[in-house]
């Protein structure tokens, strides 16, 4: 048995994303990245992106959102989000695993044998902000590991389009907000 076979599920969850063990081999999963420039300062942009209470009205694909934790947005914040994906409603529970305002935050979720990680980066550029969004999926179960290469091949373009739509919707909100 190789070392990769000995890696337990709990250990895989701590591995740097996007590592996946599969048949004794560590494979890199695709990371999908989109970015945009917003003509507002970092603090204002970060505030719009982290305002869960208004996401339903700001992102057309989100149909419902229930905040599951108390207090301000930060590490440990949890919510259940329902959105239209591929013409069907999908509900996922998400949480913030890393929070460094106003520079970045990371959202994680587990569903259908996959662990998803989404990193948002906010970088000042002149009078505005460059926002980057990186999405990675890591297969945790045998079935998900088998389907991961197919998912990468077939879904990367569609996921990138969905992410770009959300990013542009939030950019437009930021640019309408009076500073």
Give the residue-averaged pLDDT of 58-66. Answer: 94
pLDDT value at residue 85: 76
Per-residue DSSP letter, 29: P
Residue 6 in domain: no
pLDDT confidence tier of residue 11, bands split at 50, 70 and 90: very low
Helix (H) or strand (E) holding 30: none
Residue 5 in this model has a pLDDT that exceeds 60? no
Residue 29's pLDDT band, with cuts at 50, 70 and 90, is low
Q: What is the mean pLDDT of the chain?
A: 82
Top pLDDT among 156 and 7 is at 156
CB 20 within 8 A of CB 148: yes
| Strand 31-38 versus strand 62-67 pairing type | unpaired
Hey, CA dihedral for 68, 72, 76, 77, is it positive or negative? positive
Q: Which domain holds residue 124?
A: 30-176
pLDDT at 142: 83
- Give the burial string for 13-32 (b: 16+ CB within 10 Å, else e): eeeebbebbeeeeeeebbeb
**pLDDT higher than threshold 60 for residue 28:** no
pLDDT category at 178 given cuts 50, 70, 90 is low
Residue 86's pLDDT is what?
A: 73
CATH number, domain containing residue 70:
3.30.530.20
- The pTM for the full model equals 0.79
- Phi and psi (nearest 5°) for 2? -80, 165
Q: Does residue 35 contact residue 49 with C-beta atoms inside 8 Å?
A: no
Please give the share of the chain, as a percent, with pLDDT higher than 90.
56
| CA distance linking residue 43 with residue 102, whole number of Å | 6
The per-residue pLDDT for 136 is 87
| Structural domains in the chain (count) | 1
CA distance 125 to 127: 6
Length of the chain equals 179
Per the structure block, which two tokens stand in for 136? 């990675």
Model confidence pLDDT, tens digit, residues 80-133: 999 887 778 989 999 999 999 999 999 999 988 888 899 999 999 999 999 999
**CA-to-CA separations, 55 to 5, 151, 154, 164, in angstroms, rounded:** 41, 27, 28, 15
Cβ atoms of 163 and 155 within 8 Å: the answer is no
Per-residue tokens: 83? 């959105």
Q: Rounded to an integer, what distance in angstroms lies between the CA atom of residue 106 and that of residue 94?
A: 10
Categorize the per-residue pLDDT at 3 as very low, low, confident or very high, splitting at 50, 70 and 90.
very low
């Amino acid at each position: 048995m190789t070392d990769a076979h000995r890696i337990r599920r709990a250990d895989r969850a701590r591995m740097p994303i996007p590592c996946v063990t599969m048949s004794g081999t560590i494979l890199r999963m695709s990371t999908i990245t989109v970015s945009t420039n917003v003509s507002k300062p970092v603090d204002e942009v970060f505030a719009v992106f982290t305002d869960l209470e208004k996401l339903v009205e700001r992102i057309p694909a989100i149909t419902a959102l229930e905040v599951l934790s108390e207090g301000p947005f930060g590490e440990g914040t949890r919510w259940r989000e329902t959105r239209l994906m591929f013409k069907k409603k999908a509900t996922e529970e998400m949480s913030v695993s890393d929070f460094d305002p106003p520079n970045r935050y990371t959202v994680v979720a587990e569903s259908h044998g996959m662990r998803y990680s989404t990193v948002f980066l906010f970088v000042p550029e002149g009078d505005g902000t460059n926002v980057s969004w990186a999405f990675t999926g890591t297969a945790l179960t045998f079935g998900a590991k088998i389907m991961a290469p197919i998912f990468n091949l077939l879904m990367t373009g569609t996921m990138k389009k969905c992410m770009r739509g959300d990013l542009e919707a939030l950019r437009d909100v930021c640019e309408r907000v009076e500073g």
